Amino acid sequence: MDRSIWATWYNLPEEGREEYLAWFHEVHLPEARQRSGYLWAAHYASEEKVVNNVEGRLSHTPEAGVPSGDQFILLFGAETTAPFFSPTPAELAEGYSAETRDMLSRRIGERSCIFIEEARVDGPEVSRRSADMTPGPCMQMGSFNSGRLEDEDELGAWYAQWRLPCMETLPGCIGCRKLVSASGWAKHSVLYEFVSLEARDAEFPKHENHDPEKGAWTDVVVRKLVHAPGSPNVGLRLYPPV
């Protein structure tokens, strides 16, 4: 099973963007996919305007040292973190060709985390997941810290008792994974998979409406979190093509 994810967020300048994306999807990712232990690769473009219910409730880190890229999100999957640490991302970069170094140097505000899966649930549309386990056509991914050590248990309880069970019955949901980091700024992450942006926008924002008391719990929990820049991101998959 794909229990580990290496996630990278970054921006690109407008000039040369199409050239980069063509190379990235046609050359780099097919090559990266062949690395030992890598099970899948997925590349997403963030949506700027999405339907949500978190306006005014989220806070983001003020730390200047946390890179702020979030236009594109690259995900690699593996059974464990081992393929992402042997070699490490830095060690991988040492062996890149001049062309690869040039192309990847175009990224702006690059930030990455290596995650291990804490919990997973399947949604009603789990049969729509591809045979190689590549995440769905639309995803939502948050990366964040709990704010205070004392809040860790409540955050874990909220996911286990409320948010993850909600995803098991949410129309349009393929599945959801709660992640914790082995490397990177954010200790926590959550990855939701949907069959489409339309399904996500129609169903996710109202998934708590049937239980106002639990919805109030959500408000308490999310106001304590400190998110990475741009988190949570909603993205459409560019690679592999949908």
Series of mean pLDDT values for 10-residue runs along the chain (242 residues): 97 97 98 97 92 78 95 98 97 97 98 98 96 96 93 97 98 98 98 97 94 94 95 97 92
Name beta bridge partners: 43.
Answer: 74, 239
**The domain that contains 36 carries what CATH number?**
3.30.70.100
Q: How far apart are CA 242 and CA 229, in angstroms?
A: 27
A 10 A CB-CB count for 74 gives 22
Domain with 38, as residue range(s), is 4-49+58-239
Q: How far apart are CA 124 and CA 63, in angstroms?
A: 39
The tally of domains found in the chain comes to: 1
Q: How far apart are CA 129 and CA 218, in angstroms?
A: 28
Angle, CA of 17, 18 and 19, to the nearest 5°: 90
Q: How far apart are CA 70 and CA 109, in angstroms?
A: 8
Chain centroid offset of residue 218 CA = 20
Q: Taken in order 189, 89, 47, 122, is the CA torsion positive or negative? A: negative
pTM of the model: 0.96
Task: Report pLDDT for 54.
Answer: 67
Closest Cα to residue 135, out of 174, 168, 190? 174
Task: Report pLDDT for 53.
Answer: 67
SS3 at position 225: coil
